[in-house]
Structure 1
């Protein structure tokens, strides 16, 4: 393992260079990591997250925008492509990865790295599986290794950034992880991996405008990153060269996308010893992670505040970034599902009225329910200046009843975070509820086979057996 404590040197650019470069250290880590380098916790977390990502794909297949994507790809079918999940069709691998990622992410029910407010498996899993279908036979150990190093890259690149969201970092950081995962699955060597990451940087994009406008493109941006990762790995395998200083060069990712403000030590600390996959959260509610602590507070207060009609006002205090992204008064626009997913007022009201927040609460009829709408109008979200600006963990809630009595709740860490984890039964129950809600028929034998394959993934000789069940 290379020295993970780079030193700073000035080569005449505005930003001092780092030697050995962050890029070199990360590529050495990706190329040099094998299954035997992973600890039991990383392997266990990886399998749990695979099952979670596949589970949310079932209802995501029906979510607004996803049938349209699948219909489009049906016109571009190819006999030698990769599977578009739950459709029975194959498409060029980058497009299959895009579609599968969009389905995983559409309902905002996929994993998160809470410290960076981003998702990971929607990048790495579609990219790795699309690559696996079109190259050499890939076993379960190879898939797990590819996913762990891909997630590690996404998390480490993002954790060096302190500024609040403007770019959608699931996309901007996620493309690097997708390229790394696809490259590992394809068996690329160190130089080819380096090129794949440099090539994917040439395609890096993803901004928060679609999020704040509630547009369907928001759920597609991780798919664009997954697609770019697959394409970049295949191009690198054919000899296409990419930027070397894709992170720290004069026009590298950190100078260009993050104004040169980043913490190099966050990228390299514990590299090879600590696998970031163990830091990921599994989401109990199908809405933006930034709403989850508020939902938790509302559920904790529900029985203490009595009938919702007696509630005069709900005050929610969160970080500045959370207030900006999901704290605005609830309004229904062109895409009600997206509007509801990204609204503390809506999700808080839903929790207080219904005692739960699940997929059915983001259907049009549920969103426009008069009792929820009335209460959402009485939810006020403010930024707490004492919280770090991009903190998404903490929320404080005060509910004032019409008679003036007050109830308060603070949630320091939302459910699903490694500090407040969902247990095995909760994770499996989420998977089964997702399948049931989707209405997509899957035989009990196939469902049980999927459970067994994931549970014993390191023993699987060909991950295409897993793809076969998901292909539809």
Structure 2
């Protein structure tokens, strides 16, 4: 049996009744976190470009856009996936290095709404999508990640699997969906050199391409049967090293979605371990940023590959600067959405502290990556004292969990000014297994409680 068919059979056979209560509850938190990120990002300029484009294209009113109104399934995938990635608060899986929420969930939600699926259907599809893309991502990481953005490439398989599940495709049709998803998998890291908008295009197309592959498969549009392991397939073409066993190990016996991590800081996840350490040191010893002589960050090589930027020129680029993020949290004590602004970008106090920050590779953290995303921080004061803090797991990892209450607070903060009734959305999403998907989509416009499905 090919790997693709194995994943297709897994996707087809997964039932809502197979999901432990813990997985159902966790999946709803993933959906809540995704929707908060999407609402938070919907007014950003690059997302408005997507909005204007889909309005120019037009489309049947099938699925809701977070920017307002409805459009086609494909257009909803583009807008909603792009919007949920831009503020850098979307979820992340360490071992696969994938932000699954921003590609799997918008595709699943768009199709579920258009096809009038239940909340249970949506939850099951999302679990399947996360499982598929995480396993493929683990198999090719970390070598694939140097050139390729895993969320864009591996994430395309996840959105295809989720939509295939919602459409009740056969095993053969799901193989077609995954095969054509793999042929569309793309997303190069070169955009990071310019701080360009391309990262949002990555997630938009991963959601769109996965949905497209599954919707075509419904019409028996064929594809490669060995898209993963074939001699000209995904693994051989796009990674220096890969481990097929990671695709199959314990498949069907565990749920990788609960390995998901949630972001607390509004920046690239690779900046978070050091930020957590700095915050702990500053708070534990009641320090002020003016006391700091220098900061040394010891971590893994990917941090330098992606976030070694001592002079970010845009707010977005600052979220991918270890130096900026470290200085920001030392000065402000937080790195929320409002902390990344025009005022902080070129603030003298932050720029001065950035010049005192050194980022290095440490063999311990390099060898532990990507299973652990850790850092050690050494802070030296003007009076000669030195404080050291380290972590293997930033806040929001399963090993250092963000509670349900904290994630609800995060949702409320992300959606401040973006929706009039955040509590109605929280109520609807956290009861998703009991309500119709369209009830969620209209929750903030309604005064009465969401109607339970019969």
Would you say same fold, with TM above 0.5?
Answer: yes
Q: Which residue of 2 aligns with 1:449?
A: 424
Q: Contact 2:60/2:72 (CA < 8 Å) preserved in 1?
A: no
> 1:388-467 alignment to 2 at 5 Å?
388=366, 390-391=369-370, 393-436=373-416, 439-442=417-420, 444=421, 447-460=422-435, 462-467=436-441
Q: Decide which moves more: 344-353 or 400-409.
A: 400-409
1:230 equivalent in structure 2? 211
1:198-239: CA deviations, max 9, x gaps?
Answer: 111121101111124311111220111000011111111112
Whole-angstrom distance in 1 between the partners of 2:275 and 2:43: 25
Structure 1 residue ranges (4+ consecutive) displaced by more than 6 angstroms after TM superposition: none
Cα pair 1:150 1:177 within 8 Å, conserved: yes
Deviation at residue 258 of structure 1 after TM alignment = 0.9
Please report how far the alpha carbon of residue 86 of structure 1 lies from its aligned counterpart in structure 2 after TM superposition: 3.1
What is the aligned partner in structure 2 of residue 138 from structure 1? 117
The total of aligned residue pairs comes to: 441
Paired residue secondary structure (1:419): helix
Aligned 1:58-137 pairs, distance under 5 A: 58-88=39-69, 90-135=70-115, 137=116
- The equivalent position to 2:3 in structure 1, one of 22, 27, 31, is 22
Decide which moves more: 318-327 or 223-232: 318-327
TM-score scaled by structure 2? 0.93
Q: Relative to structure 1, is the Cα distance of residues 470 and 264 closer, same or farther in structure 2, using a 3 angstrom cutoff?
A: farther
TM-score normalized with structure 1 length:
0.90
Q: Look up the match of 1:262.
A: 242
Aligned to 2:134: 155
The aligned residue for residue 3 of structure 1 is none
In 2, the alpha carbon distance for the partners of 1:281 and 1:332 equals 26
Do 1:130 and 1:230's aligned partners in 2 also have CA atoms closer than 8 Å? Answer: no
Local SS of the residue matching 1:296 = helix
Q: CA deviation at 1:320?
A: 1.0
> Partner of 2:259 in structure 1?
279
For residues 157-195 of structure 1, what are the alpha-carbon distances to aligned partners after superposition, in whole Å with 9 as ceiling and x for unaligned? Answer: 111124342200001100000011111112222221111
Counterpart CA distance in 1 for 2:433 and 2:227 is 33
Q: Which ranges in structure 1 are unaligned for 5 or more consecutive residues?
A: 1-19
Q: Distance in 2 between matches of 1:409 and 1:206?
A: 35
Going from structure 1 to structure 2, the CA distance change for 1:219 and 1:403 (only over 3 Å counts) comes to same
- Tell me how far 1:471 sits from its aligned partner: 9.5
> Please, what is the CA RMSD of the aligned residues?
1.7
- Whole-angstrom CA distance in 2 between matches of 1:173 and 1:416: 22
CA deviations on 1:226-285 (whole Å, 9 max, x unpaired) are 0001111111111210111010001111011113x2112211111111011000011111
Runs of 5+ unmatched residues, structure 2 = 447-454
Could you tell me how far 1:357 is from its partner in structure 2? 1.0
Equivalent residues of 1:176, 1:200 under 8 A apart: yes
The 2-side partners of 1:470 and 1:49 are apart by 19
Listed one character per residue, the Cα deviations across residues 58-98 of structure 1 (whole Å, up to 9, x for unaligned) are 2211223111211222222324332221322x333122101
Q: Secondary structure at the match of 1:386?
A: helix
- Selected match of 1:220 from 201, 204, 207: 201
In structure 1, how many angstroms separate the alpha carbons of the residues matched to 2:236 and 2:430?
Answer: 42
- Structure 2 residue aligned with 1:15: none
* Cα deviations by residue, 1:321-358 (Å, 9 ceiling, x for unpaired): 112211332x133xx12211111111111111011110
Q: Are the aligned partners of 2:2 and 2:225 in contact in 1 as well (CA < 8 Å)? A: no
| Superposition deviation, residue 469 in structure 1 | 4.1
Do 2:379 and 2:387's aligned partners in 1 also have CA atoms closer than 8 Å? yes
Cα distance in 1 between the residues matched to 2:126 and 2:49? 28
Q: Is the 8 A contact 2:428 2:443 kept in 1?
A: no
Q: Is the 8 A contact 1:320 1:385 kept in 2?
A: no
Mapping 1:168-179, distance limit 5 Å? 168-179=149-160
